[in-house]
Structure 1
């Protein structure tokens, strides 16, 4: 009788020998590949995980997102559902790009075809954002893909993209200003806000030259920035626009710091009332007041909050 040869999977660059190893190193791209080529099923079989194997073999859907959801449930992976969904879309984009590159090789890298497909790929992402204007996971994945793979087209069309999304998918505006590169196109590096509610009357300046000379923000950038400020001016409208993606905290902390969000997750501050303070979670010093945060869309690693008011509300989003 032939001896069963046990083998390891490699997930996130680490050898996987047990279910615990698989859960600890669960990476969507790796696990889905193993599922599709049946290596995951073989591994479960030779390792004696018959009950888990039966569940995996019971997955009948061909939709990648649904496959991921079922695998996450089977292996009881403890992760944020939005993050899982976002990473699944990124995985799909990478697979599509891989197939496209293989097609380029078959065609001998015809320049015209590459250029046309490059523009087409960019527009597909923009349309995907508009068609899924309330799905933040899909928007985050598409925005990341634009930033990573289409920087030239973004540089040429970031103004047009802004106003297109402002009208058709305003949630995407917030996602873009979460992005380290994209936010530079829409936010001034130095900002003066004339009222604490972030009304549209803003005096803007940016440090645009290589020698750090201060220059006046261009008119179109001022318009884009004021449009962003206008989105958060009214909390009721903002709540309707962002839905569950808007996070709110209110409560007096009696002069102590309250750990509203733990570190190792990033959050963007949208609005905080005067007299209150935030800082990176667990970081002594670096206290930020409303003048430091409002209109700056500051991104923090976790959130500590201090307030003497029961009614003041801190508005923020997970990055």
Structure 2
């Protein structure tokens, strides 16, 4: 009787001889390729894993995406949902790309069709992100496809892409910094320099109304006192309550600047710069909160109407506030996927994320430090990481202030 010849599967560059080895070295690209070639079925048969083979033979799906989902279930893989979705999106993109290549071959590689399809493929990626602005797995996969297949068109589209997507899909901008090719393009582009400066170190009027919704809520990072603490200056907010009888009342002269903290939410309650008297400079609550004004005038009609604000007595105070205010603004843009740590570490390094996972630092307060997990001798300050989108292998963090926060995204 002929002896059965056993062989190993190579998964993620590692030979495996049993199901535990498959799970420990699980790579969906390798598994899918072996399944489609029939090698996976042969390996299960010669190794005697008949139950798993039977479940494999019951797969009725035809697309790579659906087959991949079945393979993950059969091998009982516990994969983080976003990581799995990201991999499956990549497989789907590859499947669609391969189908197009096959179509080109059938049509003798018609040049016009290829160019049209190329642009349509890029547009489809953008449309997908616009339709799912908070699906981080889709966005990561889409930006990876742009870096791999559409880098030259993205390079020329970059300013327009940024201007649209920072408002509609802000997560895509941050994900771009996770990809080496796109990161280099963004950080080295002269036309992007001012945009990135506005993103990282200035209060952007276009996002002030977004911040205002959370500015006055008492939860998480966005309660007012936490934001005031992160301003890093010892200024107390002033709350002015009055009925101005439908007239403009000047509260602060035009030579000083004010940050609006809160305002009564009514149609006829407004604030304005001291000068000039233009309707375009008159703001209701939804546009006023989070805005810095040159001086302050107040307009109301009931005795319980109020405005709450901070007056900056020096240019230094204003510069400090803008620098610190940029952190919660960036936190807001990625709020649904932001990871944070808040607390004092008593002069010691605290390992808040393990080595072996990569994280991009979104921002942290002055006076604190961060480093790659376990990397002795490294000490990155707020100036080293804020606006630099530094990526670390695990995170060690050091803080002297219990109110300070570090925010980051998993790469």
TM-score range normalised by the length of the shorter chain: 0.7 to 0.9
In structure 2, the partner of 1:26 is: 26
Q: Residue 178 of structure 1 aligns to a residue in which SS?
A: coil
In structure 1, the partner of 2:291 is: none
In structure 2, the partner of 1:160 is: 160
Structure-1 separation of matches of 2:397 and 2:333: 25
TM-score by length of structure 2 reads: 0.63
Two-structure CA RMSD over aligned residues (Å): 2.9
Structure-1 separation of matches of 2:396 and 2:26: 30
In structure 2, the partner of 1:248 is: 340
Structure-1 separation of matches of 2:367 and 2:169: 33
8 Å Cα contact 2:330-2:362 kept in structure 1: no
In structure 2, the partner of 1:282 is: 374
Indicate yes or no: 2:186 matched with 1:226. Answer: no
Indicate yes or no: 2:360 matched with 1:268. Answer: yes
Q: Residue 139 of structure 2 aligns to a residue in which SS?
A: helix
40-49 or 107-116: bigger deviation:
40-49
Q: Residue 21 and residue 257 in structure 1: after superposition, are their counterparts in 2 closer, same or farther (change >3 A)?
A: same
Q: Residue 268 of structure 1 aligns to a residue in which SS?
A: strand
Structure-1 separation of matches of 2:6 and 2:104: 38
Structure-1 separation of matches of 2:95 and 2:168: 28
8 Å Cα contact 1:185-1:221 kept in structure 2: no
Structure-2 separation of matches of 1:40 and 1:276: 51
2-11 or 174-183: bigger deviation:
2-11
The CA deviation at 1:167 is 2.6
Count residues in correspondence: 291
| Aligned pairs (5 A) from 1:161-310 | 161-187=161-187, 218=191, 221-227=193-199, 230=204, 236=222, 241-310=333-402
Structure-2 separation of matches of 1:73 and 1:309: 46
In structure 2, the partner of 1:205 is: none
The CA deviation at 1:104 is 1.9
| Aligned pairs (5 A) from 1:30-69 | 30-36=30-36, 38-57=38-57, 59=59, 64-65=64-65, 67-69=67-69
8 Å Cα contact 1:252-1:309 kept in structure 2: yes
The CA deviation at 1:36 is 4.4
Structure-2 separation of matches of 1:64 and 1:100: 15
- Encode CA deviations 1:142-181: one digit per residue, 9 max, x unaligned: 1011011111101111111112212321111111122223
Q: Residue 58 and residue 311 in structure 1: after superposition, are their counterparts in 2 closer, same or farther (change >3 A)?
A: farther
Q: Residue 334 of structure 2 aligns to a residue in which SS?
A: helix
Q: Residue 65 and residue 228 in structure 1: after superposition, are their counterparts in 2 closer, same or farther (change >3 A)?
A: farther
Q: Residue 228 and residue 171 in structure 1: after superposition, are their counterparts in 2 closer, same or farther (change >3 A)?
A: farther
Structure-2 separation of matches of 1:65 and 1:259: 37
Q: Residue 129 of structure 1 aligns to a residue in which SS?
A: helix
- Encode CA deviations 1:271-295: one digit per residue, 9 max, x unaligned: 1111111011111122011111112
